[in-house]
Amino acid sequence: MGLLLLLECFVLAHYFEIDVISSLTYVGRDIRCPASDPTLSSIGVHCFGDYYQVVEFASEQNPWETGLSNYAASGMVIQGIFGAIGTWLGSPRTGLVLYLVAMAGALVTPAIWAGRGKPIATRIILAGAFGLVCLPALMALDRGNVVGFAVPGLLALLVAVVRGNSRAMVIAIVLIALIKPQFAILVLVPFALRMWRQGLIAAAGVFITNLLAYLAWPRDFPLTIWQSVMGVMGFTANSPLGVNYPANVSLAKSLRDLEYGFYWLAGNGTQVPWFERYGSIVGTGIVILLIVLLAVWGKRLPPLVSVVLLTSWAFLLPSVTYSYYLVFAIPVAAVLLRDPASEVSAQGFSGALDRPARSRSQKVAILLIVLATTASLTRIILPLHLGVVLEGYDRPLGILFTNAAITPSLWLVATIVALVAWKSAPQADVVRARSRIRSEITGS
């Protein structure tokens, strides 16, 4: 995939003058730097907009009073801390650099973990393949979005599930939900594994920690909770489902794209899909329904399969979800390469999903999960010109479509196939699987 992308980039940039870097990530000229003095904070013409936008909000006594902030309190704490460090040092750029260095360390954690015990050359390749050089990680850094800090917690969650460590599982869920409140969906993980007490503890921990985050801005508390909810809802309502740049990778968007495909196959490609108008609400409802089914049927699926699928839904649920949220696939790739329950070997890799499939349909489900993970971390530029015109530019940019926008459809298909494959599993296999999970938990 990497060699194909390299060849594509050479041909498109050299022969057709396509902006391949902006096609894969985002435009370099970010105009959201602090208006007071951009030279103190930007790096060249780039300002890491998602970082500085939050830093400006976090510096206010009530960030939600104006209705402009679409962030919950927990999603602003990390940027606020590094922004305060930059202010204390008298150099906003220093705060930014420290923030980016910390995020880079978080993003490369799964590659370091997966490569432990391997030759140094293998570890370097891993760090590049699904560490800092994979496209979701680069885009998270490019935007300065805090979602990159969720990667170590997600790796800890996956490892804890495989090893049956219920305490580490609860702690990981609480920490991940502190990065972005929508990740609270992960409290369904222990419920899907029929760990009722741990699920209630995780839910209580997520609620309390997210509530305490608002105390960092005590003015107007608890009214600030309602104001932030309205800010998030306003952003979602005013953001079109069909946004293509940066790529919207939400699961609701994938349903809208599937409807577009049906219209195209029927020869009626000019008709506006029903999901274009109502997809944000109905699509989210369908996604929530599938999440509930996944939690209900989770007792039939292998534990890691349930958690990986629930993780994809947690990260891709909001109707507007930009492609840097695909960083969740980095720790998933790590456990696909290295089984946390096995000893590390210097020769070859043995992943955590190499053995749980019994029937042909289950093998297909595992293959789809691997394919969706690969598609989430890699990019292919497709020959579809987006004709993007952004603020600060006076002409359409040479930006092409990539496979990022179609990856949620792969996760949707993988979820449905997995549910069907293990729903029809022989009852004896289900009983044995549940007994194994119970023994792992009680033995932790």
Query: Where are the extended beta strands (E) located within 369-424?
Result: 381-385, 400-402
Lowest mean per-residue pLDDT among 95-99, 157-161, 253-257? 253-257
What pTM did the predictor assign? 0.85
Q: How many CB atoms are closer than 10 A to CB 152?
A: 21
Q: What are phi and psi of 89, to 5 degrees?
A: -80, -10
156-206 pLDDT tens trace: 999 998 888 889 999 999 999 989 888 888 888 888 888 888 889 999 999
C-beta separation of 251 from 317 below 8 A: yes
Q: What average pLDDT does range 296-324 have in this prediction?
A: 81
Instruction: List the alpha helices (DSSP H) in 196-272.
Output: 196-213, 223-238, 251-265
181-195, 243-257, 314-328 — which is least confidently predicted? 243-257
Q: How far is CA 328 from CA 293, 313, 371, 415, in A?
A: 21, 10, 14, 16
- Is 282 a residue whose pLDDT tops 70? no
Mean pLDDT lowest among 100-109, 215-224, 237-246: 237-246
Number of structural domains in the chain: 1
Q: Is the pLDDT of residue 32 over 50?
A: yes
Q: What is the mean pLDDT of residues 18-45?
A: 70
Residue 138 has pLDDT above 60, yes or no: yes
The stretch 29-35 carries a mean pLDDT of 66
Output the average pLDDT for the chain. 77
Share of the chain above pLDDT 90, in %: 10
Q: What is the pLDDT of residue 346?
A: 52
Over 90: is that where the pLDDT of 154 sits? Answer: yes
Highest mean pLDDT, choosing among 67-76, 116-125, 200-209, 224-233: 200-209
Closest CA to 97 of 86, 107, 88: 86
Query: What is the pLDDT, as a whole number, of residue 204?
Result: 93
pLDDT at 433: 45
Residue whose structure tokens are 């609480």? 174
Locate 73 and state its tokens: 């309190």
Q: Residue 133: pLDDT above 90?
A: no
Q: Could you give the residue ranges of the DSSP H alpha helices within 297-426?
A: 303-316, 329-337, 360-377, 407-423
For residue 275, what are the domain limits? 2-442
Check if the beta carbon of residue 256 is closer than 8 Å to that of residue 92. no
Per-residue pLDDT band for 422 (boundaries 50, 70, 90) equals confident
pLDDT, position 246: 76
CA atoms in the 13 A half-sphere facing the CB of 247: 31
- pLDDT for residue 80: 87
Taking residues 211-231, report their average pLDDT.
Answer: 81
Instruction: Say whether 46 sits in a helix, a strand or coil.
Output: strand
What number of H helices and E strands is found in the chain?
Answer: 19, 2
Per-residue pLDDT at 235: 64
Q: Higher pLDDT residue, 268 or 165?
A: 165
pLDDT for the residue 272: 55
pLDDT in tens, 327-357: 999 999 888 888 787 766 555 566 677 676 6
Range ranked top by mean pLDDT from 14-23, 410-419, 421-430: 410-419
Residue 440 has which token pair? 């792992």
Residues in the chain: 444
Residue with tokens 């396509």: 18
For every residue of 101-168, which 3-state class applies, written as one string? HHHHHHHHHHHHHHCCCCCHHHHHHHHHHCCCCCHHHHHHHHHCCHHHHHHHHHHHHHHHHHHCCHHH
Q: Judge whether residue 267 has pLDDT over 90.
A: no
Q: How far apart are CA 281 and CA 277, in angstroms?
A: 9
Residue 396, pLDDT > 90, answer no
* Predicted confidence band of residue 151 (pLDDT cuts 50, 70, 90): very high
